[in-house]
Amino acid sequence: MIVDTQYVRFDSLSLDCGATLSPVDVAYETYGRLNESRTNAILILHAFSGDAHAAGLSRTDGKPGWWDNMIGPGKAFDTERYFVICSNVLGGCRGTTGPSSINPATGRPYGLSFPVITISDMVRLQKKLVDHLGIERLLSVCGGSMGGMQALEWAVAYPEMVVSAIPIATTARSSAQQIAFNEVGRQAIMADPDWNGGDYYDRQPPARGLAVARMIGHITFMSDESMRVKFGRRLRQKEEFGFDFSVDFEVESYLRYRGSQFVNRFDANSYLYLTKAMDYFDLTNGTGSLAEAFRNVKARFLVISFTSDWLYPSYQSLEIVNALRALNRDVAYCEIPSNYGHDAFLVDIAEQSEIIRGFLASTYRMVSSS
Amino acid sequence: MSDSGDTRRRGFVREILGRSDYAIISEWIEPGSRVLDLGCGDGELLAWLAENKAVEARGIEIDARKVQRAIARGVSVYHGDIDQGLTDYPDGSFDYVILSQTLQETRRPLHVLREMLRVGRHAIVAFPNYGHWSVRLSLLLRGRAPVTRCFPYQWYDSPNIHFLTVKDFQTLAREQGWTVEREIFLSGRYSGRLLANLLAEVAVFLLRR
């Protein structure tokens, strides 16, 4: 499946912070076909470092999508049955307007003059895209991690439009620990002299700071066990310690590699803006009552967590599930056994595929028979 | 519980009830009602009820693999423990709450039963009868923890931690002031009321507060 990223421009988007962005571009891809009654559309919401290229092979570089193991003919999100949409988030750096985009007022990249955005701003922009595609109701909204936050926000913000929601390895409100890791990443970027107050687009970007931020991120995405299995204490291309500060261990080599790779495809300012949006995310708006937040929700839910995910632990999924159960909503929940930590929703997909496939099929049956 | 024990027990339930556990429950459950099945396994009964009685089906199951199979067949199951799993449901959320063959495995059976009657208008409880003659005879003659058709486990690998008889359950219902709306006693393929506490292998009760 060769796919093209498409683009659409909207005149303006008003934001939670009070500012208005204008214009706003959205990069998106679609897979499969919208049926005649327009009841088979599924919106996939990417996580922090994802993009619109969720499935298939990119026409430009031939790379597979970030969830290509889940989306495609015969896969969990079966593109022979469903019409699947994925767009890059607001504030991102992969085609949708973000801090690296040109500010029409100055003719230069926004940098830190880009307004601070929220998860609900992202969702409001996705709503424009869905309207643009002529879709009135989404069979499902689904995403992991930051994508799960958007799925929850969708179900709450547009209850009439969302038939089902599948939040995976996510939370209804960021915890102190999650905010703390995000802050460490931001500090690493801002401590890099090349960051230059966010103004670096015509010069050397803060590659070292961004790489360190990504290294921290990768540690939080794995589990103690997955790191032990993958790296152990193995040395990197040497038999003995180097007695210096070059790479000794495999794990160091891996983190440095992932850090340096990330710099090529991600904008440091987007890192700041997207992590801030996650930090601000609290579906209860500070009231603490999730049941209140979910009161008008109409969607049925499938909530998934993973046993070894310590960044988005299962108790956060259970908060969501229990609030929905307290309202007698239709909610299925499974904590999938996995050793892959938070990464599990991207890599450990056999069981996840099975339950999503069944959940979507039964939801589609309900929609088709009603 | 061990896999083999589980298979044995499931095999046994099929053998003794055939389709009749579905038949009994189906007969008792009104079409279109809201049903919660505790320890629902892979959701077979719930899927059947959703298909044949158009019920709104929910389940609770502790085994991840079974939860996945249940969700895969379209049943909304909550992955959790029935000893605590009912707390979040508001009063009267369901028309029927089913507890089939697992009462004797719960840590706090009275608490579970009270919770069932809080969240449900009716409770359906099926359990193996520890008062069955084969159990009594086994203990009396062999002097060992009974291993019978209904209790097929050695004492050291049994999931059962609270044994009860038909009479125990009836006494409890009376003490708690619950109304027994229906009761059915099964032995092999037969059902009957005669000397139930001695002859029934499995008892099924329909209760309300």
The mean of the pLDDT values for chain A is 97
Q: Does A27 share its domain with A93? A: yes
Domain boundaries, chain B: 3-129+161-208
Asked whether B172 and B111 are in contact (CB, 8 A), the reply is no
> Measuring CA to CA, which residue among B170, B140, B136 is closest to residue B150?
B136
Residue of A nearest to B67 (CA): A334
Q: Does A88 share its domain with A228? A: no
Residue among B58, B78, B89 with most chain A CBs within 10 A, to mutate: B78
Lowest mean pLDDT among A61-75, A281-295, B2-16: B2-16
Phi, psi of B121 (to 5 degrees): -75, -35
Of A258, A276, A294, the position where a domain reaches its end is: A276
pLDDT computed for residue A84 by the predictor: 98
Q: Does A72 share its domain with A165? A: yes
> Measuring CA to CA, which residue among B172, B163, B162, B58 is closest to residue B106?
B162
pLDDT computed for residue A154 by the predictor: 98
Residues of B in contact with A329 (CB under 8 A): none
Distance from CA of A358 to the nearest CA of B (A): 4
Of A253, A276, A299, the position where a domain reaches its end is: A276
Distances (CA, A) of A243 to A234, A255, A322, B78: 16, 20, 53, 53
Q: Does A138 share its domain with A260? A: no
Tell me if B77 and A332 make a contact (CB, 8 A cut-off): yes
Domain encompassing residue A214: 179-276
pLDDT computed for residue B21 by the predictor: 63
Residue of B nearest to A331 (CA): B76
Q: Which of B68, B78, B93 sits opposite A355 (nearest CB)?
A: B68
Give the fold, CATH level 3, of B3-129+161-208. Answer: Rossmann fold (3.40.50)
Q: Does A79 share its domain with A191? A: no
Residue among B88, B94, B95, B119 with most chain A CBs within 10 A, to mutate: B88
- Residue tagged active-site, from A49, A140, A145, A164: A145
Q: Has residue B10 got a pLDDT over 50?
A: no
The residues pairing with A184 across neighbouring beta strands, listed in sequence order, are none
Q: Does A57 share its domain with A147? A: yes
Residues of B in contact with A360 (CB under 8 A): none
Interval A176-229: pLDDT, tens? 999 999 999 999 999 999 999 999 999 999 999 999 999 999 999 999 999 999
What does the alpha-carbon distance between residue A345 and residue A67 come to, in Å, rounded to a whole number? 9
Q: Per-residue confidence at B192, pLDDT binned at 50, 70, 90?
A: confident
Q: Does A67 share its domain with A131? A: yes
Q: Is the ipTM of this complex over 0.85?
A: yes
Burial of A16 (0-12, 13-18, 19+ CB in 10 A): middle
Of A209, A241, A276, the position where a domain reaches its end is: A276
Interval B14-39: pLDDT, tens? 433 444 566 788 789 999 999 999 99
CA B190 to chain centre: 18
pLDDT computed for residue B70 by the predictor: 97
Q: Does A301 share its domain with A152? A: yes
Tell me if A325 and B77 make a contact (CB, 8 A cut-off): no
What percentage of chain A carries pLDDT values higher than 90? 98
What does the alpha-carbon distance between residue B56 and residue B74 come to, in Å, rounded to a whole number? 12
